[in-house]
Every structure is written in C-alpha cells, then in structure tokens.
C-alpha cells in the first residue's frame, strides 16, 4: 500500500504543469504516449487469442477523446495558426498536423463506439477493433513525434508571450480528469497503471 501511495504521489508531482507553455505541451505528449503504450499492450493481446482489458482500453480512449481532443488539440490549433504566420515554411507540416487532429478524433470516436458496444454485450469483430485501434495508435504516435521533432522547438523560439496568452485562452481551463490532483473515479485504475509504468 505504501508503495502504491508513493507511485501515486510521484505521478501527481509530475502532473503539475510546468510554467513554460512548450514544457506543458511536451509533458502532455509524454503522458499521451504512455497511454498509447498501454493501449498497444492491450491490442497486442489480440495476437494471443486472449481477451484484452476492454475496460482499460475504453478508459484510455475516453480520456484521450475528452481531454486531448477538447483541450490539448484546440490549444495546439491556435499555436499552429500563430506559428504559421511567423514560420511560413512550416505551413505544409502544420496542414498535415491539423488533418491528423481530425483523423485522430474520427478514428477515436469509432474505436470508442466499438469498445462501448463490446462492453454492452454486442458482438463486434475483433478484427474491426484491432484495425481501428492500430490506425489510432499509428496516427497518434506519428502525430506526437512530428510535433516534437518539427514544431515544439520552433514554437519555443518564435511564439511571443501574447501568442501563448491566446493559445491558453483558446479553451477554458479545466481540471485534468486523469492527472489532476483529484482524478475522476473512472480513471483511478488508469492512473494506477500509468504510475506502475513510471
């Protein structure tokens, strides 16, 4: 029990957002990457013929849809618009990143519906879930990698304090339901899984 509390407190400390907006962006990417790793582990279970943890998979996708797609990506879109004006050479990269936001949201919604259906007792072909999850993982992982490689450093160099104010104003501030000080009940197991991997 003491070990679990230590892991939880470590995770809570890491979840405290750094003051630098690029560091916040990077930190969120790191946590999203950890969630994608957990999802990949469950997708890998399909290869064994065993039942993956559909509940955990649903919690991962629900969190990424509710937090990342509603808070993280809209802030990024404002940063992209500002960055495009200051670095016109990034227009093609930014156009691809915006498209990836839409693909990630659409595939995530499809996967969310499939997982919810399975947990409601419906028959959903495993191949359909595996295909949707693999597409989601591929797009999301590549998306994070492209932003880390091609955008974050430029944003740190070129965006002004006023730009970052507009980025932060793009969506209302909200407590992170997974990594905040008091995680929502449904995400406690998911948070524990992340802490175990820390």
Q: 152-171: buried (b, 16+ CB within 10 Å) or exposed (e) per residue?
A: bebbeeebeeebbeebeeee
Please state the pTM of the whole predicted model: 0.83
Token pair for residue 167? 């980025």
CA 113 – CA 162 distance, rounded (Å) = 39
**Number of structural domains the chain divides into:** 1
Residue range 151-198, pLDDT digits in tens: 999 999 999 999 998 988 887 666 677 776 666 777 777 777 777 665
**CATH number for position 114:** 1.20.120.520
Residue range 56-109, pLDDT digits in tens: 999 999 999 888 878 888 889 999 999 999 999 999 999 999 999 999 999 999
Does position 7 have pLDDT exceeding 70, yes or no?
no
Residue 164, domain extent: 2-197
């Amino acid at each position: 029990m003491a070990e679990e509390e230590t892991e939880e407190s470590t995770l809570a400390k890491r979840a405290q957002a750094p003051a630098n907006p690029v560091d916040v962006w990077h930190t969120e990417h790191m946590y999203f990457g950890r969630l994608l790793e957990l999802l990949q582990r469950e997708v890998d279970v399909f290869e064994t013929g065993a039942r993956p943890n559909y509940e955990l998979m649903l919690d991962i996708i629900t969190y990424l849809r509710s937090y990342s797609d509603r808070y993280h990506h809209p802030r990024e879109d404002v940063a992209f618009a500002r960055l495009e004006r200051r670095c016109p050479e990034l227009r093609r990269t930014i156009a691809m990143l915006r498209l990836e936001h839409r693909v990630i949201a659409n595939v995530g919604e499809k996967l969310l519906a499939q997982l919810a259906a399975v947990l409601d007792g419906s028959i959903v072909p495993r191949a359909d879930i595996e295909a949707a999850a693999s597409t989601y993982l591929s797009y999301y992982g590549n998306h994070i990698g492209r932003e880390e490689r091609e955008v974050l450093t430029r944003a740190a160099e070129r965006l002004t304090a006023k730009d970052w104010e507009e980025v932060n104003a793009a969506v209302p501030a909200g407590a992170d339901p997974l990594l905040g000080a008091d995680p929502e009940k449904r995400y406690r197991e998911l948070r524990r899984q992340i802490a175990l991997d820390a």
